Amino acid sequence: MRWSRYFLYTSKEDPADAEAPSHRLLLKAGFIKQISAGIYEILPAGWRVIRKIESVVRKEMDRSGAQELLLTVLNPADLWKETGRWDSYGNELFRLRDRNGREYCLGPTHEEEITDLVRKFVKSYRQLPLILYQIQVKFRDEKRPRFGLVRGREFIMKDAYSFDADEMSAMMSYETMKFAYDRIFKKLRLNVIMAQASVGNIGGSQSHEFIAFTDYGEALVGFCESCGYAANAEIISLARPPEEREDPLPMEKVRTPDVRTIEDLASFLGTSPSKILKALLYIVDGKDSLVVLIRGDREVDENKLEAVLGTDDFRLATDEEVRDLLGTEKGFIGIFNLPDGIRVLWDNSIYGVKNMVVALNEPHWHYINANPGRDFNYGEFFDLARVEEDDPCPQCGGILKVRRGLELGHIFLLGTRYSEPMRAYYTDPSGEEKPIIMGCFGIGISRIMSALVEQHHDERGIKWPVPVAPFELDIICLNTSDPDISQTAEKLYLEAEEKGIEVIYDDREESAGFKFADADLVGFPYRIVVGKKVKDGKVEVQKRETGESWDFSIGEAVDRVKEMIERDKA
RNA sequence: CGGGGCGUAGCUCAGGUGGCAGAGCGUCGGCUUUGGGAGCCGAAGGUCGGGGGUUCAAGUCCCCCCGCCCCGACCA
């Protein structure tokens, strides 16, 4: 491909509205173009990358025995009503009507449609097990699209569905997919960790997430290097710590004027946040008040709180509500003098803390040296704290590390969540009708492009790994008006094409610096620079990843590059 | 959906107290240049997000709406 004819336009300026490196670089380097919030066009160079990602995914899915098909984007509402998700999916579902008033949605995921398909054809245990998958555009009207392709409202996803006769076989399918995913992310050169996860709205009995470490990820993973445990932070349970061994000091009431934050209170009293009892007032279901007690150095994980409460309809109280309900102010909420009948949850972190600093619901005052049993009694304990670095591993007691990451894949063992209500049944060898056991397995294809950039870039631009690069080689003609140079570049371009290298030939009439900057930005893994050295019969080969460069004779350059590319693909 | 910010040329942005619509980059024409986003000359390019209002006069002041980005709660 000659760059002078290629639809690839880079920008010298950083785009104004992009913060995450992947978002900024994909826009700046001309891979994507924004149409609306969370809606992007994928331009030719970007599409080449997407197609390569897809082909890696396809290859491994096919190899694992899964069969590709294509379901529909337009989903009739009837199917969604069968499982109840027409109502429960809420505002994230894009809904529309046809000319006759029939309701449809744009498919955000396809459990309903695939189950409908399978129930029509699969009647016997002889037809199981079965794994079907597709690669398709999905639509979700996300509350908050983010970071370019990281979370779009329209995005490309690979979704696979397994169908098995019994739990044991379903587990086998699940394991098969696990291995396939492992191979996929390795081939894509992504640093990914598999973590236990919560099943959330999709339902089912177990699930794992495949998370790529990035600073701009949305998932929080805790993992243990000594035993290999890894899980989404929201499901890592934190037990009660051992009791502190301190002699109780006499409790005292201390004036703490306008000291509202934990940090300020700790320094005001000359103590540490871990000695302070933090109390938060929540409003549940828009009406009930709830006090959550947690150690001052810890944060509430609202996913855990949701699990305990059984609802996601809760929020922190406003200043006015704190005043009306507790008669105090934020920063001075405590366990003393709480109104009767208010629900109180104690986080495990509080257990065993001695000589604690506690507020008493009276503005500008705290108690110091409050002790359990003597000054107050514990209520019911729960696990509500967000996991932090150095917390104990729930599996081996080792030390957890905590990192941000991007969820690239998620696999679920669904059980009969869909087959039961949709009556996808098969007949077993004894003639008995049974629901098919299902699993579902997603990979965010377009999101992978973002993750790749997050993990492979520097200050100058993207550094595509060879297996996903839009072109493997960029041949730069440094002086288009020098016939020696341009004819050599032309010759090398034709030779590279002939030898099966995916090559872009920068024949544009631009300055050297301009072309180098573009090459760095767009991120081609290899570059042949054709310039003054041609008069000595040499060209320069450069590797983007490492910055290494070599002078080769004009005759051998393409072959040497070809060798390096082949090595990188292996 | 709550909180914060922004909307002026293709892109990045400037336009105190209302008074002729601006710059750099990019684009087009010409000259010159070619190992790290070159230089000179010339040109084109605008419903100032939309609507209403105040005023002799609105990019600027007021009201309503729309869009985008960031932080939080949800997802691949």
- Whether A448 is in a domain gets the answer yes
Average pLDDT over residues A417-437: 97
Cβ neighbors of A126 (< 8 A, separation 6 or more) are none
- As a whole number of angstroms, the distance between CA A236 and CA A400 comes to 10
**Among candidate residues A329, A351, A382, the one where a domain is terminated:** A382
Q: What angle do CA A404, A41, A509 make, to 5 degrees?
A: 105
For nucleotide B76, give the residue with the nearest CA to its C1': A444
**Among residues A190, A154, A218, A216, which one has the least CA distance to residue A25?**
A216
CA nearest A466: which of A540, A564, A397? A564
Does strand B come within 7 Å of the CB of A204?
no
Q: How buried is residue A77: exposed, middle or buried, by Cβ count under 10 Å (0-12/13-18/19+)?
A: middle
Q: Give the closest nucleotide to A11 (alpha carbon vs C1').
A: B11
Angle CA A181–A186–A192, to nearest 5: 75
- What is chain A's alpha carbon radius of gyration, rounded to the nearest angstrom? 29
Mean pLDDT in residue range A35-58 = 96
Q: What are the tokens at A485?
A: 């140079």
Query: Does pLDDT of A432 surpass 80?
Result: yes
Name residues 209-228 of chain A with a Cβ under 7 Å from nucleic strand B.
209-210, 218-219
Do A326 and A258 reside in the same domain of the chain?
yes
How confident is the model over A251-275, as a mean pLDDT? 88
CATH of the domain at A325: 3.90.960.10
The more confidently predicted of residues A482 and A323 is A482
A466 within domain boundaries: no
Closest CA to A375 of A426, A335, A320: A335
CA of A510 to C1' of B39 (A): 14
What b/e sequence results for A553-566 when a residue is b if at least 16 CB atoms lie within 10 Å of its CB, and e otherwise? ebeebbeebbebbe
Please tell me the predicted confidence (pLDDT) of residue A79: 95
Question: Quick check: A193 pLDDT over 80?
Answer: yes
Confidence check: pLDDT of A29 > 70: yes
pLDDT digits (tens, 9 = 90+) for A529-542: 999 999 999 999 99
pLDDT tens across A235-248, in order? Answer: 998 989 999 999 99
| Per-residue flag: A202 CB under 7 A of strand B | yes
Mean per-residue pLDDT, A41-66: 97
Cα distances (Å, whole numbers) of residue A466 to A190, A211, A514, A543: 12, 22, 23, 11
In a domain, A185, yes or no: yes
Give the DSSP letter string of A300-332: B-HHHHHHHHT-S-EEEPPHHHHHHHHSS-TT-
In a domain, A242, yes or no: no
Which CATH number fits the domain that encloses residue A192? 3.30.930.10
- Say how many C-beta atoms besides its own lie within 10 A of residue A420's C-beta: 15
Parallel, antiparallel, or unpaired for β A67-68 and A130-139? Answer: parallel
Is strand B less than 7 A from the beta carbon of A516?
Answer: yes
Whether A21 and A150 share a structural domain: yes
CB-strand contact A144/B, under 7 Å: yes
A157 neighbors A396 (Cβ within 8 angstroms): no
Q: Model confidence at A506, in pLDDT bands (50, 70, 90)?
A: very high
Largest CA distance in chain A: 93
Give the domain extent around A187: 3-236+402-453
- In a domain, residue A220? The reply is yes
**Nearest nucleotide (CA of A517 to C1'):** B37
- State residue A295's pLDDT score: 92
Residues A100 and A153 both lie in one domain: yes
- Residue A201: per-residue pLDDT: 65
A327-331: Cβ within 8 A, 24+ apart: A327/A361, A328/A359, A328/A361, A328/A362, A328/A363, A329/A260, A329/A363, A330/A260, A331/A259, A331/A260, A331/A261, A331/A265, A331/A359
Q: Cβ of A380 < 7 Å from strand B?
A: no
Residue where one domain finishes, among candidates A326, A351, A382: A382
Say yes or no: A160 and A306 in one domain.
no
Tell me if A391 is assigned to some domain: no
In the predicted model, what is the mean pLDDT of chain A?
93
Quote the CA–CA distance of A434 and A423 in Å, as a whole number: 9
Confidence of residue A229 (pLDDT cuts 50, 70, 90): very high
Reading the block at residue A388, the tokens are: 């932090």
Spacing of A17 CA from B40 C1' in Å: 35
Q: Report the distance from CA of residue A474 to the C1' of nucleotide B57 in Å, as an integer.
A: 57
CA distance A328 to A20: 41
Which tokens go with A130? Answer: 């079965």
For B1, nearest residue by CA–C1' is A143
Query: Which residues, at least 6 apart from A484, have a Cβ–Cβ distance to it below 8 Å?
Result: A534, A535
Interatomic separation, CA of residue A492 and C1' of nucleotide B12, rounded (Å)? 37
Please tell me whether any atom of strand B lies within 7 Å of the Cβ of A34.
yes
A511 touches strand B (CB under 7 A): yes
CA dihedral over A478, A452, A46, A135, signed as positive or negative: positive
Distance CA A134, CA A394 (A): 37
Structure-token match 């890592």, residue found: A236
Average pLDDT, stretch A31-51? 95
Same domain, residue pair A295 and A349? yes
Q: Mean pLDDT lowest for which of A211-215, A264-268, A392-396? A: A264-268
A146 touches strand B (CB under 7 A): yes
Note whether residue A459 is domain-resident: no
CATH number for the domain that contains residue A480: 3.40.50.800
pLDDT score of A326? 83
The more confidently predicted of residues A335 and A155 is A155
- What is A202-215 written as a DSSP string? T--SEEEEEEEE-T
- By C-alpha to C1' distance, B24 is nearest to A13
Tokens of A524: 């081609």
Q: Tokens 């099966």 label which residue?
A: A500
| Beta-ladder partners of A540 | A529, A551
User: Which phi and psi angles does A239 have, rounded to 5°?
Assistant: -80, 175
Which amino acid, one-letter code, is at A568? D
Distance A503 CA to B24 C1' (A): 34
Q: In this structure, is the CB of residue A85 within 7 Å of any atom belonging to strand B?
A: no
DSSP annotation of A526: E
C-beta of residue A425 within 8 angstroms of C-beta of residue A418: no
> CA–C1' distance A25–B63 (Å)?
40
Beta strands in A425-566, from DSSP E residues, in sequence order? 425-427, 433-435, 437-444, 457-458, 461-462, 473-477, 503-506, 526-530, 538-543, 549-553
**Are A436 and A369 members of one domain?**
no
Q: A332 and A216, same structural domain?
A: no
Residues A114 and A192 in one domain: yes
DSSP output for A52-74: HHHHHHHHHHHHTT-EE----SE
Q: What is the DSSP string of A533-554?
A: GGGGTEEEEEETTT--EEEEET
Please state, for a pLDDT cut of 70, what percent of chain A lies above it. 99
What domain count does chain A have? 3
3-class DSSP assignment, residue A150: coil
Helix A557-569 / helix A483-498 crossing angle, nearest 10 deg = 40
Last residue of a domain, one of A382, A413, A430: A382
Whether A525 shows a pLDDT value over 80: the answer reads yes
Q: Tell me, yes or no, whether A110 lies in a domain.
A: yes
Do both A156 and A281 map to the same domain? no
Asked whether the beta carbons of A52 and A467 are under 8 A apart, the reply is: yes
Which of A's residues 278-297 have CB atoms within 7 A of nucleic strand B? none
- At residue A118, the pLDDT reads 98
Nucleotides of B under 7 A from a protein CB: 1-2, 11-13, 24-26, 33-38, 67-76
pLDDT per position as a tens digit, A126-162: 999 999 999 999 999 998 899 999 999 999 999 999 9
Decide: CB of A544 under 7 A of nucleic strand B. no
Considering the domain architecture, whether residues A33 and A179 belong to the same structural domain is answered as: yes
**Whether A474 contacts A489, CB under 8 Å:** no
Residue A202's pLDDT band, with cuts at 50, 70 and 90, is low
> ipTM surpassing 0.90, yes or no?
yes
Strand B contacted by A509 CB (< 7 A)? yes
Strand pairing report for A503-506 and A473-477: parallel
Least confident window among A181-195, A259-273, A421-435: A259-273
**Shared domain check, A217 and A186:** yes
From residues 110-129 of A, list those within 7 angstroms of strand B by Cβ: none
B70 closest protein residue (CA to C1')? A19
Give CA–CA dist A151/A23, Å, rounded.
11
Nucleotide whose C1' lies closest to the alpha carbon of residue A20: B70
- For residue A514, pLDDT over 90 is answered with yes
Q: Please report the pLDDT score of residue A198 as a whole number.
A: 82
d(CA A441, CA A162): 8
A164 and A31 within one domain? yes
